[in-house]
Amino acid sequence: MAAEFVLTGATILRGPDLTASDESWIKVGEDGCISALGNIPSESSNVLHFDASGMIICPAFLNAHTHVIDGFLKEIGFGLPYWDVFMPPDGLRHQALSLTPDEVMKEQLGQTLDQMIACGTSLFVDFREGGRPGVKLLEEVAADRPIQPLTLGRFASYPPQPPDALTSNRGVLTNDALAEVSGIVEEGAGFSLISANDLTDEALAQVATHVRSLDGLLALHVAESPPYRETSIERTGQSDVHRIVDHLEPDFAVHLTFATPEEMRRLAEADIPAVCCPRNHAVIGLGIPRFDLMLEAGMNVAIGTDNVILASPDPLAEIQFASRVIRALRADPSFPTASEMLKMITMNPARILGVDHERGSIEVGKRADLVLIDATTSNLAPVSDAVAALVNRATAADIRAVFNNGALAHGDPLDVIPHRV
């Protein structure tokens, strides 16, 4: 069990609204959770104090959508159409994954997870290929690192239903397929689909019932590209957005780059949140997800970094890109606000994933998952608005330390302040 300590002298972004509190302190208990918050001077004179002056302390980041296994394939197929690289079973990515030994993937995966920790991430959601063995590989590599995966595995082979069943939109999953879903959820945190077009409407409802009976998370890519919509309408008469509302009701929908305003309103009414990944879709020329319109429609929105092939797993880089692009598209510098952007990698995903009771904000009783950003660097100083500085300017190079459940996960120890009686 760790010793109690206090981080003092910092600007702390407190509570779910990330309210900046200058010259403040955080006390971390032996259980790794925040036991007290206050303004200088700290009342805990008998506890070890660390000097965090000149730091901005914010909640550790939650990366709501990743494909982290692909780190050894960086920039593969760069400039090629999306379908040629990413669609199973013949896309370049899937061919490479099927031919690569597990040990090679494990080594690169470890490096990617270490990079994520250094970027301030304490938890991430990964869509993992390869069935139960694929989930197990990721969980094993992450087990001895200060970062938590929520791994949502997929079927080991595609398509999971016969092509004639998909074309006619008739048929259910076999018992063997449902058993595979059970194993995937048991090994990880839930289940994912590439898209609603993976299954018939009946099978979507089957999966939803089955995964919920196992208390697993359920998510998928939705409205990621025009062919997703076209294929869904051709087979079923409905877009993939309407099908997931009617038959699946996932915990969240990823991408929604081609969702219409009407579909966004329907998702909001059904309380289905969005996870958007602007950098990846920009690189592959699919466009920019209009998460600003999703927010205006009443949806909860989180941001993910998506595939390591195309973008670094750096949440700060993601929200900086996203914020600038949306402001340009709207020709409006006022929306989304800096706090709304930062919430997309802190409180919003915590709520979507059902972990907001312990993560996503700096509050008494929650885990001390903290990112300490050095506000004295030439990149940031002088800071007039701490939240805006993080969203508009901060980089991973400005991160001085990362704490996970009260333990130093990355960075250098801070200076100890001499004991005060």
Pairwise CA distance, residues 396 & 370, whole Å: 14
Q: Are residues 372 and 413 in the same domain?
A: yes
Torsion of CA 254, 255, 261, 265, to 10 degrees: 10
Q: How many domains does the chain contain in total?
A: 2
Q: Are residues 386 and 349 in the same domain?
A: no
Helix (H) or strand (E) holding 258, with range, is none
Q: Are residues 346 and 401 in the same domain?
A: no
Give the CATH number, domain containing residue 390: 2.30.40.10
Give the pairing of strands 274-276 and 252-255: parallel
Q: Are residues 179 and 52 in the same domain?
A: no
CB 47 within 8 A of CB 6: yes
Q: Are residues 344 and 375 in the same domain?
A: no
Q: Which domain holds residue 33?
A: 5-60+360-417
Q: Is 144 exposed, middle or buried (0-12, 13-18, 19+ CB in 10 A)?
A: exposed
pLDDT in tens, the chain (421 residues): 468 999 999 999 999 999 999 999 999 999 999 999 999 776 666 889 999 999 999 999 999 999 999 888 999 999 998 889 988 778 898 888 888 899 999 999 999 999 999 999 999 999 999 999 999 999 999 999 999 999 999 999 888 999 999 999 999 999 999 999 999 999 999 999 999 999 999 999 999 999 999 999 999 999 999 999 999 999 999 999 999 999 999 999 999 999 999 999 999 999 999 999 999 999 999 999 999 999 999 999 999 999 999 999 999 999 999 999 999 999 999 999 999 999 999 999 999 999 999 999 999 999 999 999 999 999 999 999 999 999 999 999 999 999 999 999 999 889 888 754 3
Side-chain half-sphere exposure of 372, counting CA atoms within 13 A: 27
Q: Are residues 19 and 74 in the same domain?
A: no
CB 189 within 8 A of CB 216: yes
Of 365, 369, 289, 381, nearest to 326 by C-alpha is 289
- Domain stops at, among 329, 353, 377: 353
Q: Are residues 166 and 235 in the same domain?
A: yes
**Tokens 């699946």 belong to which residue?**
248
Alpha helix (H) ranges present in 217-314? 226-236, 240-243, 261-269, 278-283, 291-297
Q: Is 176 exposed, middle or buried (0-12, 13-18, 19+ CB in 10 A)?
A: exposed
Q: Are residues 52 and 67 in the same domain?
A: no
Of 275, 352, 377, 282, nearest to 324 by C-alpha is 282
